[in-house]
């Protein structure tokens, strides 16, 4: 009687991207509300959108008021990237740059309300968003999102492997 035993090691697939994440770049004319709609229509979560740029119709002496109001928005004040508010010395216009993080449905609605209350107008320009997708479906989502006219590009969130120097 001959007994053959085999041992087969299944090789684990080494991923060079972050599971469950897809990065997208918006067209210059694509707005933050349009990015919200794009993600919500597909039941995808938004980890962040950056940079969201706005001008304010409020007078230049309202910088303190804007800072106080925006300081209450945790999703717009990540410790590593607080809201940037500046007054353009040449035009006297107030401009804001915001990184919106953890944009759940309530956070999205709160931001849209805040934009209205603070009389903000979104400025056109490129934005990047990091979307949460089901693990294992990243490549499918990249292919689908690449077809969307609101986006300039969509790709896997690649892991940057650096060699120590």
* Residue 56 bridge partners (DSSP): 94, 120
The structural domain count of the chain equals 1
Structural domain includes residue 114: yes
108/102 Cα distance (integer angstroms): 9
Structural domain includes residue 163: no
Structural domain includes residue 111: yes
142/34 Cα distance (integer angstroms): 18
Identify the pLDDT of residue 80: 83
Q: Evaluate the CA torsion angle 153, 146, 150, 156 in order and state its sign.
A: negative
Q: Which domain holds residue 50?
A: 18-158
Structural domain includes residue 8: no
Structural domain includes residue 5: no
Structural domain includes residue 164: no
pLDDT digits (tens, 9 = 90+) for 15-35: 799 999 999 999 999 999 999
144 near 3, Cβ under 8 Å? Answer: no
- pTM for this entry: 0.85
Phi then psi for residue 25, to 5 deg, are: -115, 125
pLDDT digits (tens, 9 = 90+) for 73-115: 999 987 888 899 998 888 888 999 999 999 999 999 999 999 9
Residue 30: burial class (beta carbons within 10 Å; 0-12, 13-18, 19+): buried
């Amino acid at each position: 009687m001959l007994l053959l035993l085999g041992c087969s090691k299944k090789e684990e697939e080494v991923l060079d991207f972050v599971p469950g994440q897809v990065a997208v770049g918006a067209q210059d004319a694509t707005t933050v509300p349009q990015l919200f709609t794009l993600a919500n229509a597909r039941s995808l979560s938004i980890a962040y959108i950056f940079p969201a740029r706005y001008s304010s119709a409020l007078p230049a002496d309202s910088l303190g008021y804007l800072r106080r109001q925006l300081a209450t928005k945790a999703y717009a004040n990540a410790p590593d990237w607080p809201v940037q508010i500046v007054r353009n010395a040449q035009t006297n216009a107030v401009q804001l740059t915001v990184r919106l993080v953890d944009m759940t449905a309530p956070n999205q609605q709160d931001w849209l309300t805040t934009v209205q209350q603070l009389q903000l107008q979104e400025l056109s320009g490129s934005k990047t968003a990091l979307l949460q997708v089901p693990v294992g479906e990243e490549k499918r989502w990249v292919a689908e999102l690449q077809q969307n006219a609101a986006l300039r590009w969509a790709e896997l969130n690649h892991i940057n492997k650096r060699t120590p120097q």
